[in-house]
């Protein structure tokens, strides 16, 4: 297939292609952050990987969830357990992810000095949403 003549819409209409692109992006991010002191976690297919070999417990490296989005709050909670974690950024193009991660601060799982931000937007128009701040405006469950 000559990808130069294929529209982006047509390219992304195939599940196999989206899966391959997701894996390619995840592996490229891991390679980019391989020598970083920031911990990076990516998830695709049934795998969860980190640039820090000691960051993920063995029982979290493979999953059977149909959609990896549902694993994001679990990984945020696991990251929060680390006392060195001060900022957690979650990026996903999926609209259900904000609903999934809002429960982390709403249930009091973030430390006093830990921030949880949802990165969203397209191309050069990205912005960060402070999840904790929005939860405090909405209110929390007592």
- Two structure tokens written together for 36: 């970083």
45-73: average pLDDT: 80
Distance CA 114, CA 107 (A): 14
Across 106-118, average pLDDT: 83
**pLDDT value for 28:** 94
pLDDT at 87: 85
In our burial notation (b when 16+ CB lie closer than 10 A, e otherwise), range 41-77 reads bbbbeeebbbbeeebbeeebeebeeeebbebbbebbe
Residue 56 sits in the same domain as residue 80: no
Interval 19-26 mean pLDDT: 87
For position 67, what pLDDT does the model report? 67
> Are 75 and 127 part of one and the same domain?
yes
92, 73 Cβ separation under 8 angstroms: no
Torsion of CA 38, 44, 48, 49, to 10 degrees: -40
Summarize the confidence of residues 7-33 as an average pLDDT: 83
Q: Is 121 left (phi over 0), alpha (psi -120 to 50) or beta?
A: left
Looking at 10, 41, 64, the residue that finishes a domain is: 64
From 47, 64, 81, the end of a domain falls on 64
93 versus 83: which is more confidently predicted?
93
The domain total for the chain is 2
- Domain identity same for 45 and 94: no
Q: Which of 36, 64, 92 is the last residue of a domain?
A: 64
Say yes or no: 28 and 93 in one domain: no
For residues 13 and 89, the model is more confident at 89
pTM: 0.64
Same structural domain for residues 57 and 24? yes
Domain around 84 = 69-142
| Residue found by looking up tokens 């049934």 in the block | 46
Average pLDDT over residues 69-95: 78
Are 59 and 73 in the same domain?
no
For residues 118 and 142, state if they share a domain: yes
């Amino acid at each position: 297939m000559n990808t130069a003549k294929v529209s982006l819409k047509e390219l992304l209409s195939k599940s196999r292609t989206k899966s391959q692109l997701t894996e390619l992006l995840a592996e490229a991010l891991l390679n980019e952050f391989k020598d970083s002191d920031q911990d990076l976690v990516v998830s695709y297919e049934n795998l969860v990987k980190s640039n820090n070999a000691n960051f993920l417990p063995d029982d979290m490296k493979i999953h059977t969830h149909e959609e990896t989005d549902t694993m994001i709050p679990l990984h945020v909670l696991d990251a929060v357990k680390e006392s060195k974690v001060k900022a957690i950024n979650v990026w996903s193009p999926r609209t259900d992810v904000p609903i999934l991660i809002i429960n982390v601060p709403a249930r009091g799982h973030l430390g006093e000095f830990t921030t949880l931000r949802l990165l969203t937007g397209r191309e050069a128009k990205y912005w960060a949403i402070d999840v904790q701040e929005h939860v405090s405006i909405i209110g929390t469950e007592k």
